[in-house]
Structure 1
């Protein structure tokens, strides 16, 4: 990649690899470029649309925002778009695996890259676990439609029992969630071309289901249900935005596949923006239909659409939605486990983790070792932690990654304005600053337990960085950046 020279940093924890020296995988080693624009967009949509429609929309409408839940999604979408523009600029400029980790490393320094990469390893893996647990709940609901009951010991993690529901100790493992995580790891290990075909098919089915819900539901809208549009006030809509924000990212994990895109400098920015735009249109229309079909007070917060269609005499569609939710949310597992493995692969290739982890399959050209390790880790979390405890491992890292990417895009635009960017963030620097503001604002909504777990994980990461990564990184082994003038 030809570009104006980046002076970089010659030594220390803030050393940077000049962008023109970053390997984009074009030499034919490492990962294999097989993904086109359609597949990249499908992976992005697969990561964004999931629990947001099938779970969060109903819960927020019922408890937080009322019909203004669609405003909540719009606010969250605008905030997410501010970060998405920054991701799109970097994706076109640095066509390399790793996403926020790689961008932070290249612009803000090694310690920042490590910090974000280490954090995303936990966040993405935990998201896979949480989503797998959620899918297992839908699976149990679907079995209920068929009058099938699984043994309690395999139906949930220890501690899942509710008081008065079943005897303590009845649940031993969430076996279905464990098998789901391992299944996705297996699919990812079949090679990105085959795995992407599987993901794209599921995304088409999911989008078709959401469109079916919107079209059929539109004929059962009672406009009177919109009369009290802000029952919880405008503040309810903003609080709802903080909740649903976690349903409007996914493009960040998709962007970790930059080295597997056939023409990443052109396709990756488009895929990021297309996937967010498609998802937001579907989110808003689905919310409009849901709150029009049922008064917000009567929306079932756990199975909103299934219950809504039952209430209008279409129980068969409720069963279809339960089955479709399993398929729809499954794509989220794929996107985020792929993202976690590509971040880990990039950190290993840069020497911040042992090189053993970045070994790719000789034929399929995927990081098999990292995929099985993280797939196994997500399976353990999903199998043995209740969903609430697993969920507390998520959120903060992705928001901090958004902050880093938005800050980095501003820094690089002013330090190296002449780099060959295939996409430029509009409204510089206002749009990235909006992304920073919203991300920091949403962090204030997180529980103290989330901060505690984050602090523990961060401390472990610092021990590993200063004990191993700092001295074993590719830049450290070269002694200094040969292009550096600092």
Structure 2
């Protein structure tokens, strides 16, 4: 009797969603995005303030001018996971990214674990970036003689005189209000800002090229090959966010063609920009001097190009804005997908008739992110973003193998080359990256996943649409 009960439970946990059911549930979402929109969505997510900070600090401490090789190496690692995502999004053009893919391929329980990992990645990263955006804005306003009361400039910490980070809350609310206007309006605004951001990056590269001294590139590998490898493990996280592109699959025209272009194209464009900035930066200034808070601005000030340094600050704010826009969009689609399946309250899976937007899930996401960004100190929690992402990457890499074996899922779009070797290599690389994370990250994330398990067994499994149908 006891074994029968256990077998029934295991059977429920392994029960899989069908592609047809998801396609039917997602049909209210309008298909308005093309390959260009996906590329700009991806670049907007991946290229944030990191492009103006990471190349300098990693070059100074670990890689030297060989930082360009670190970026190329990180891209190769990331590209393996990206191709796995591209195959999934081509074969399964549904909302919810890796969460939905996991439900179809592995079953509901594994899908929930992946989804819970992505909730951690998406919401925490936006909350952290919102506080960075606020800091840049406050600094920008100070330049015009406008000072903000200290009580409104930081997380809730009465002992140090701060009660709320008001601008972090305001920017999250503003972006969410924009997202309620529908995907078409949002992508237009995102596209304009991303193009402007890319133009600012190109401006730095072009201006900086005139001040490059080849002698600064010698020695090219001051810390040896190990330094390049160490640098690659650090800059790898600069690429996190390309998986957000797959969250939009249900709102993309011709996803079999456009999704792979959006995912893989994002990596290519971002790599070119990262390598160009890193190469010029280490050519302008000796790598030994780049361990500063804003290395790009510092380099420009050394060559008396303060006007470009000012524009870079605007570019940094634009970078953070588009990253938050993409991540809040992806978060709302993820929570919508989980609500659609009944694992969270079903209201979260509702789509408004006016703009075909999951308004309830967007509102829920906005409240959580605004509270975290406005009231909580996130300094030590942002490292948890990495573990959520890498868990999803690992499962998607492994998942390509059972995906190919499903006779009911036809994919005449993108397929991972060198199957099954490349997906296995991708999974092993992701597991290696996970092994590099500190013990503290594993402990805190363990608490997060324990809470997720309680939520699933106390609510999700009893309200799942899969078990009711």
TM bucket normalised to smaller: over 0.9
Instruction: Tell me how far apart the structure 2 counterparts of residues 158 and 72 of structure 1 sit (CA, whole Å).
Output: 38
Corresponding position of 1:223: 214
Report the CA distance between 1:13 and its aligned residue. 0.3
1: CA distance, partners of 2:410 / 2:250? 19
Instruction: Confirm or deny: 8 A CA contact 1:73 1:245 kept in the other structure.
Output: yes
Q: 5+ residue gaps in structure 1?
A: 1-8, 160-166, 479-486
Identify the residue that residue 360 of structure 2 maps to in structure 1.
369
Residues 310-333 of structure 1: CA distance to partner in whole angstroms, max 9, x if unpaired? 111101110110111101221110
Q: Deviations over 1:228-278 (max 9, x none)?
A: 222222222222222211111322112101111122222111111111111
More helix by share: 2
1:213 equivalent to 2:213? Answer no
2:387 to 391, 396, 402: 396
2:227 matched residue in structure 1: 236
Residue aligning to 1:193? 184
Among candidates 45, 48, 51, match of residue 50 of structure 1: 48
Cα offsets for 1:438-485 (capped at 9, x unmatched):
21111122222321221111111111211221232222012xxxxxxx
Distance 1:415 1:261, change over 3 A: closer
Deviates more, 1:325-334 or 1:427-436: 427-436
Alpha-carbon RMSD across the aligned residues, in angstroms, is: 2.0
SS in 2 for 1:24: helix
CA shift, 1:290, in A, is 0.7
Q: Tell me the residue number matched to 1:433.
A: 424
Between the aligned partners of 1:423 and 1:268, the Cα distance in structure 2 is: 9
CA distance in 1, matches of 2:406, 2:125: 35
Would you say 1:12 and 2:3 are equivalent positions?
Answer: no
Question: Is 1:156 aligned to 2:154, yes or no?
Answer: yes
**Over residues 363-404 of structure 1, what are the superposed CA-to-partner deviations in whole Å (9 max), with x where a residue is unaligned?**
011111111211121111112233413413311011000000
Alignment-derived partner of residue 96 in structure 1: 94
Q: 1:344 & 1:28 partners in 2: Cα distance?
A: 13
Query: Which digits, 9 at most, give the CA deviation of each residue in 1:15-70, with x for residues without a partner?
Result: 11233x24325x88431111111111110111111133022222212222221221
Distance of aligned partners of 1:395 and 1:10 in 2 relative to their CA distance in 1, 3 Å threshold? closer
Match of 1:127 in 2: 125
Deviates more, 1:378-387 or 1:421-430: 378-387
Distance 1:415 1:211, change over 3 A: same
| TM-score, length basis structure 2 | 0.94
Which deviates further from its counterpart, 62-71 or 269-278?
A: 62-71
Count residues with an aligned counterpart. 461
Task: After TM superposition, list the pairs within 5 Å mapping 1:43-442 onto structure 2.
Answer: 43-158=41-156, 168-416=159-407, 419-442=410-433
Given the superposition, is the C-alpha separation of residues 145 and 308 from structure 1 closer, same or farther in structure 2, using an over 3 Å criterion?
farther
Give the TM-score normalised by the residue count of structure 1. 0.91
How do 1:464-483 residues align onto structure 2 when only pairs under 5 Å count?
A: 464-478=455-469
Alignment of 1:445-460 (within 5 A): 445-460=436-451
- The answer on whether the counterparts of 2:117 and 2:391 sit within 8 Å (CA) in structure 1 is no
Moved more, 338-347 or 167-176: 167-176
- Give the whole-Å Cα distance in 1 for the aligned partners of 2:16 and 2:126: 31
Query: Does the 8 Å CA contact 2:133/2:168 hold for their aligned counterparts?
Result: yes
Counterpart CA distance in 2 for 1:427 and 1:301 is: 42
More displaced stretch, 440-449 vs 105-114: 440-449
Conserved? CA contact 2:214–2:283, under 8 Å? yes
Is contact 1:50–1:332 with CA below 8 Å preserved after alignment? yes
Work out the CA distance in 2 between the residues paired with 1:309 and 1:371. Answer: 40
Greater shift in the superposed pair: 372-381 or 106-115: 372-381
Cα separation, 2, equivalents of 1:66 and 1:157: 36
List alignment gaps of at least 5 residues for structure 2: 1-8
CA offset at residue 300 of structure 1?
4.6
SS at match of 1:395: helix
Deviation (angstroms), 1:92: 0.7
Instruction: Tell me, yes or no, if the aligned pair for 1:89 and 1:421 is still in contact at 8 Å.
Output: no
The CA distance in 2 between the partners of 1:10 and 1:400, in whole Å, is: 22
User: How far did residue 150 of structure 1 move?
Assistant: 2.1
- Which residue does 1:33 correspond to in 2? 31
Which stretch shows the higher mean deviation, 400-409 or 230-239? 230-239
Provide the rounded CA distance (Å) in 2 between the counterparts of 1:188 and 1:67.
Answer: 41
Which residue does 1:482 correspond to in 2? none
- Residues 294-344 of structure 1: per-residue CA shift (max 9 Å, x gap): 111111532111111111110111011011110122111011111111111
Range moving further from structure 2, 236-245 or 144-153? 144-153
| SS of 1:182 mapped into structure 2 | helix
Q: Is this contact kept in 2: 1:142–1:319, CA < 8 A?
A: no
